[in-house]
Amino acid sequence: MNAENIDHIGVAVENIDQAIKFYQEVLGMKLVHFEVLEDRGIKVAFLTGQNGETAIELMEPINHYDINNTVAKFLKNRGQGLHHIAIKVSDIQKSLEELSGKGLQLIDTKPRKGARGHLVAFVHPKSAMGILLELVQPQE
Ligand code: ZN
């Protein structure tokens, strides 16, 4: 696989509006994207520093009591905090095949449409040094 850069760092939050305010007003970051992902049951916000580059992705479940929602479950079990790291690749399908060939446990064997319309797929933390890893292939 060929990691191009760190696309974003995913953070689970209890209240996305409050979290956005914190990142904007306390840290001086700018909101570059906000989206409700109905199929994943979450609201997401992307913020970057003033120079852009790597973003912070804030995620809040639409329904905090949905036991099938992975972010709601994460918040309940571990509280707010670092959820995943996303690496940008140019060919996500090829990257997944390569990682699978190396015996890594994939959560998604096929890429799916994620935030910002990009193709995404997750790799299990058990296979990635304890970090939930997301691969991202931007769609132009
Ligand atoms: Zn992400």
User: 82-135, pLDDT tens digit by residue?
Assistant: 999 999 999 999 999 999 999 999 999 999 999 999 999 999 999 999 999 999
133 alpha carbon to ligand 1 midpoint, in Å?
9
* Residues with C-beta atoms within 5 A of ion ligand 1: 10, 57, 86, 134
User: 49-72, pLDDT tens digit by residue?
Assistant: 999 889 999 999 999 999 899 999
> 28 by DSSP, 3-state: which?
coil
Show the tokens assigned to 84.
């995943």
Please name the amino acid found at residue 93: Q
Q: Helix (H) and strand (E) counts for the chain?
A: 3, 8
- For the whole model, what pTM was predicted? 0.95
pLDDT number for residue 73:
97
Instruction: Give the list of residues 6+ apart from residue 10 with CB closer than 8 angstroms, or none.
Output: 57, 59, 82, 83, 84, 85, 86, 132, 134
Q: Which residue has the tokens 């449409």?
A: 113
57 alpha carbon to ligand 1 midpoint, in Å?
6
Options 1.10.287.610, 3.20.20.70, 3.90.1300.10, 3.10.180.10; CATH for 5-137 is: 3.10.180.10
Q: How far is CA 62 from the centre of its chain?
A: 16
Strands 30-37 and 42-49: antiparallel
45 alpha carbon to ligand 1 midpoint, in Å?
10
**Residue whose C-alpha is closest to residue 121's, from 103, 102, 105, 108:** 108
Asked whether residue 140 carries a pLDDT value surpassing 80, the answer given is no
| 40-51 average pLDDT score | 96
13 alpha carbon to ligand 1 midpoint, in Å?
13
Strands 5-12 and 30-37: unpaired
> What residue ranges do the domains of the chain occupy?
5-137
| 4-14 average pLDDT score | 97
pLDDT number for residue 32:
97
| 28-35 average pLDDT score | 97
136 alpha carbon to ligand 1 midpoint, in Å?
8
Strands 5-12 and 81-88: antiparallel
108 alpha carbon to ligand 1 midpoint, in Å?
13
122 alpha carbon to ligand 1 midpoint, in Å?
9
111 alpha carbon to ligand 1 midpoint, in Å?
13
